Amino acid sequence: MTSNGFLQIAVYVIVLLGLAKPLGGYMARIYRDKSIRPMRWVGSIESLIYRLGGVKPEQEMRWTEYAAALLVFNLLGLIAVYALQRFQSYLPLNPQHLAAVTPDSAFNTAVSFATNTNWQGYGGETTMSYLTQTLGLTVQNFASAATGMAVLVALIRGFIRRNQETIGNFWVDMTRSTLYILLPLSLLLALALVAQGVVQTFSPYQTVALAEAVSYEQPKLGADGQPVKNHEGKPVLEKIEVREQTLALGPAASQIAIKQLGTNGGGFFNVNSAHPFENPTPLSNFLEMLSILLIPAALCYTFGAMVGDTRQGWAILAAMTVIFVALVFVTVPAEQYGNPVLASLGTDQAPSAAQPGGNMEGKETRFGIVNSALWAVVTTSASNGSVNAMHDSFTPIGGMIPMWLMQLGEVVYGGVGSGLYGMIVFALVAVFVAGLMIGRTPEYLGKKIEAFEMKMASVAILIPPLVVLGGAAIAVMVAAGKSSVFNPGAHGFSEVLYAFSSAGNNNGSAFAGLSANTPFYNFMLGLAMLFARYWLAVPVLAIAGSLAAKKIVPAGSGTLPTHTPLFMALLIGTVLMVGALTFIPALALGPIVEHLQMTK
Amino acid sequence: MFKVIKPAAMMLVMLTLLTGVIYPALVTGLAQALFPAQANGSLIRDSQGKAVGSALIGQSFSNGKYFWGRPSATAPYPYNAGASSGSNLGPINPALADAVKTRIEALRAADPENKTPVPVDLVTASGSGLDPHISPAAAEYQVNRIAKARRIDPDKLREMVRSHTEGRQWGFLGEPKANVLALNRALDAIR
């Protein structure tokens, strides 16, 4: 690794952690229902929304009511996105006259955006009209992020409240997350991105003249639309000369801003943030990468502030950061080392002041190795899933780390809200394990952790691995699953395992060689995303409800303090142990075998 | 059940208006007012005002008189800016080694005297298939070929590459790079 590489990574981590306290403190005020002076006028918009929506903001909900509101709201959003895709050819703002999306792909995409996964089986610029992108996908980018934040806030209330039946109001938590946090940040980021060159327009695609004409051959089609064949039965090729370039445009910046801030990750264009119109400069890259982890990291501080002991938040943030930094320093060197196969062909892969070197297949020159590999770790530690390089072309180890980060359950920072509530579930398991070791009833933040909480925590931790491993196993057994594989050998298995790891943890990134836009994968991955999202969110709300009803026990001499390095180590150990024991056998069949083949 | 569906539907409508209509419209209005060039694709125009490319999107060059950019995996032809795509070839896929071998042979055939190892970015497909840049090393690798084809002093060409090379943003972000379309337009402007 180069010294500049260390510098870029260090600056990133320092800025990220430096913003955790100011933003986290601001969010704590928002969720405590305090108004922020310069944003007081937003309060009138907020009340207007409640009035028009027929919502009584002061009405508290039990956890079951909270969960029902969340599920119905997400279901309606899913239906809206499905309908927009199916009818886009009849609707306005479709200057490229894109056709209706197929039912299976539309289902998959609707689930994907409602569940904050943003797995994409389609290519944006060739599939979705401007109307579908803004009115459907952008809205769900906000809604799904706000949903995750609402669940987290409800869980935090579970720790704060004592002997109460209710955990807050879903509509209020969702609306305040959107109005005070996601929208203002998105507006700022979107404008900064446009300044760097991200497009934002409702005009049709732009045609420009090419400096040098390009020609290619394609099978000639007869009047019946079938390829014409010559006397040997081979298709006749015709030469096509292209003199113009069509530049895909669109209202990209507004969607990209929330795609990053809401840990959604769904690209406006097919290649996501590798596209120069989606991520044009190293600065736009830095801002987008920062936005991915900004809210998840800051929410740790919010958690600490809301439970009245900021050390609790810092401890969790520190545990996440330890895992994150360690894995950055596996992926970046793996990619910088490059590909021995290409080295033997006479390429120069040594980094220098004049070239990034390393494994450049699928990477952009302006980002080089460091920013591509760092982004891969960032996007998979958060449940973001946007990419600025093609993960399918990463080295085996460089691609394994992103896959494993997803398999850990998206709790190293994780998605907005969902990452921290996932990590708190792991913290419950950690105190439970510690409790077993010292023979006392486990407590966390003054709440006794009992059988009900542990059952719910087990459900939340075991469902994703079941979906990932079960789904991948089915896919490699049936023809419909195997026929979509693109790369041969162990890497092909990695493509399938990566797809289910991504969908089964609501990440959304892909080893994109896999042809996932087939009825089989659209359906299977759609199911995986639904399970992964709601079979976590609902048990977490159940835990919140159960905790809120308990009294708070004062810490005694037998209480395990949960802000110490000892607890951090215990938490890291729990996360890594579950992740390692569950997934190393599967990883051995994919990236590990491939690495051995590559270096033999 | 209806008790939940009604507020859910109304709140979805509210949120859609706010984040799906007002927000994109506001960003578009501000973007078009403050940064019209960037918001519309950073177009490059010739002296007659005709759009001849984007400063951010690469174009395909195969003539020996031009700088060649990164290989592009877009279909059905390279640098198709209407359908971005990477190759998605895995590191030990034989198709990757074959493609790289073919590209190295093409570079060597165009410039037989150049025996130096090829900078890796010049023979590997970019992530987007639209990468407008090459590394300074990849530009230097091509200088002698172009100088010979155009009968100009290689050092003059090197000076041109240097002046078109952008360093790291803010001195440390990203990688040094040169815009291929800008380089080739400058080449055509020489004569």
Residue A300: which pLDDT band, with cuts at 50, 70 and 90?
A: very high
> What are the residues facing A217 on neighbouring strands?
A239
Other C-beta atoms closer than 10 Å to the C-beta of B33 total 9
Q: Which of A476, A493, A477, A500 is nearest to A589 (CA)?
A: A493
A428-441 pLDDT, tens digit each: 999 999 988 888 88
Q: Which of B1, B19, B180, B181 to mutate to test the interface with A (most CBs of A within 10 A)?
A: B19
Question: Does B9 share its domain with B73?
Answer: no
- The pLDDT, as a whole number, for residue A113 is 95
Contact B27 A254 (CB under 8 A): yes
- Does A561 or A234 have the greater pLDDT score? A561
- The pLDDT, as a whole number, for residue A179 is 95
Classify B80 as helix, strand or coil: coil
Question: Does B136 share its domain with B102?
Answer: yes
Question: Does B71 share its domain with B145?
Answer: yes
Please check the confidence at residue A37 and state whether its pLDDT lies above 90: no
Contact A143 B15 (CB under 8 A): yes
Contact A191 B140 (CB under 8 A): no
Sign of CA dihedral B108, B114, B115, B118: negative
Residues of chain A in contact with residue B31, where contact means CB-CB under 8 angstroms, are 190-191, 194, 200-201, 253
Q: Flag whether residue A339 sits within 8 Å of chain B, measured between CB atoms.
A: yes
Please check the confidence at residue A271 and state whether its pLDDT lies above 70: yes
pTM of the model: 0.96
Mean pLDDT within A42-48:
92
On average, the pLDDT of chain B sits at 95
Question: Does B26 share its domain with B100?
Answer: no
Q: Compute the distance between CA of residue A63 and CA of residue B42 in angstroms, rounded to an integer.
A: 50
Q: Compute the distance between CA of residue A599 and CA of residue A499 in angstroms, rounded to an integer.
A: 25
Which of B84, B89, B132 has the CB atom closest to A271's CB atom? B84
Please check the confidence at residue A556 and state whether its pLDDT lies above 90: no
Tell me which residue range forms the domain holding B54: 42-189
User: For chain B, what is the domain count?
Assistant: 2
Alpha carbon of B137 to those of A364, A478, A516, B175: distances in Å? 15, 47, 37, 12
Please check the confidence at residue B1 and state whether its pLDDT lies above 70: no
Q: Which of B180, B188, B186 is nearest to B56 (CA)?
A: B180
DSSP-assigned letters across all residues of A73-117: HHHHHHHHHHHHHHHGGGSSS-TT-PPPPPHHHHHHHHHHHHTT-
> What are the residues facing B179 on neighbouring strands?
B133
Q: Which of A219, A317, A226, A230 is nearest to A18 (CA)?
A: A317
Question: Does B120 share its domain with B90?
Answer: yes
Q: Which of A72, A63, A55 is nearest to A143 (CA)?
A: A72
Q: What's the CA angle centered on B141, arms B137 and B146, to 5 degrees?
A: 130
Q: What is the DSSP letter of A136?
A: I
- The pLDDT, as a whole number, for residue A223 is 76
* B5: closest CA of chain A, how far (Å): 7
Please check the confidence at residue B82 and state whether its pLDDT lies above 90: yes
Contact B128 A365 (CB under 8 A): no
Residue A569: which pLDDT band, with cuts at 50, 70 and 90?
A: very high
Show the tokens assigned to A107: 């289902």
Alpha carbon of A43 to those of A22, A30, A143, A154, A495: distances in Å? 21, 11, 19, 21, 47
Q: Flag whether residue A238 sits within 8 Å of chain B, measured between CB atoms.
A: no
Q: Compute the distance between CA of residue A50 and CA of residue A45 in angstroms, rounded to an integer.
A: 9
Q: Which of A118-122, A179-183, A221-225, A414-418 has the lowest mean pLDDT?
A: A221-225
Q: Flag whether residue A202 sits within 8 Å of chain B, measured between CB atoms.
A: yes
Mean pLDDT within A34-40:
75
Show the tokens assigned to A440: 């006392």
Question: Does B143 share its domain with B160?
Answer: yes
Residues of chain A in contact with residue B78, where contact means CB-CB under 8 angstroms, are 214
Classify A420 as helix, strand or coil: helix
Contact A282 B174 (CB under 8 A): yes
Classify A599 as helix, strand or coil: helix
Residues of chain B in contact with residue A197, where contact means CB-CB under 8 angstroms, are 38, 42, 55-56
Residues of chain A in contact with residue B21, where contact means CB-CB under 8 angstroms, are 134-135
Question: Does B115 share its domain with B166?
Answer: yes
Q: Which of A121-125, B30-34, B54-58, B179-183 has the lowest mean pLDDT?
A: A121-125
Q: Flag whether residue A438 sits within 8 Å of chain B, measured between CB atoms.
A: no
Q: Compute the distance between CA of residue B140 and CA of residue B134 in angstroms, rounded to an integer.
A: 10
| Helix, strand counts (H, E) of chain B | 7, 6
Q: What is the DSSP letter of A325?
A: H
Q: Which of A247, A213, A196 is nearest to B43 (CA)?
A: A247
Residue A101: which pLDDT band, with cuts at 50, 70 and 90?
A: very high
Which of A245, A274, A366 has the CB atom closest to B79's CB atom? A245
Please check the confidence at residue B191 and state whether its pLDDT lies above 70: no
- The pLDDT, as a whole number, for residue A531 is 94
Residues of chain A in contact with residue B97, where contact means CB-CB under 8 angstroms, are 341-342, 345
A433-479 pLDDT, tens digit each: 998 888 888 999 999 999 999 999 999 999 999 999 999 999 999 99
Q: Compute the distance between CA of residue B148 and CA of residue A480 in angstroms, rounded to an integer.
A: 54
Residue A600: which pLDDT band, with cuts at 50, 70 and 90?
A: confident
Residues 91-130 of A with CB under 8 A from B: 123, 125-126
Contact B84, B128 (CB under 8 A): yes
- The pLDDT, as a whole number, for residue A237 is 86
Contact A270 B31 (CB under 8 A): no
Domain-by-domain residue ranges, chain A? 28-202+251-303, 206-247
Mean pLDDT within A494-502:
97
* B75: closest CA of chain A, how far (Å): 10
A7-27 pLDDT, tens digit each: 999 999 999 999 999 999 999
B107-161 pLDDT, tens digit each: 999 999 999 999 999 999 999 999 999 999 999 999 999 999 999 999 999 999 9
Contact B53 A242 (CB under 8 A): no
Query: Rounded to 5 degrees, what are φ and ψ at B179?
Result: -85, 120
Contact B73, B84 (CB under 8 A): no
Mean pLDDT within A107-119:
95
Residues of chain A in contact with residue B43, where contact means CB-CB under 8 angstroms, are 206, 208
Question: Does B102 share its domain with B48?
Answer: yes
Q: Report which secondary-structure segment, H or E, holds A347.
A: strand A347-348
Residues of chain A in contact with residue B70, where contact means CB-CB under 8 angstroms, are 365
Mean pLDDT within A278-286:
98
Q: Compute the distance between CA of residue A434 and CA of residue A238 in angstroms, rounded to an integer.
A: 71
Which of A135, A251, A390 has the CB atom closest to B28's CB atom? A251
> What are the residues facing B173 on neighbouring strands?
B169
Q: Exposed, middle or buried, B77 (CB in 10 Å: 0-12/13-18/19+)?
A: middle
Nearest residue on chain A to B62, judged by CA atoms? A212
On average, the pLDDT of chain A sits at 95
Alpha carbon of A210 to those of A6, A418, B122, B178: distances in Å? 39, 46, 21, 19
| Percentage above 90 pLDDT, chain A | 90
| Percentage above 70 pLDDT, chain A | 100
Residue A219: which pLDDT band, with cuts at 50, 70 and 90?
A: confident
Pairing type for strands B165-166 and A237-247 reads: unpaired
Nearest residue on chain A to B166, judged by CA atoms? A366
Question: Does B116 share its domain with B26?
Answer: no
Question: Does B145 share its domain with B86?
Answer: yes
Please check the confidence at residue A246 and state whether its pLDDT lies above 90: yes
Give the number of A-B residue pairs with CB atoms closer than 8 Å. 399
Q: Which of A245, A290, A484, A493 to mutate to test the interface with B (most CBs of B within 10 A)?
A: A245
Regarding an ipTM greater than 0.95, the answer is yes
Q: Flag whether residue A598 sits within 8 Å of chain B, measured between CB atoms.
A: yes
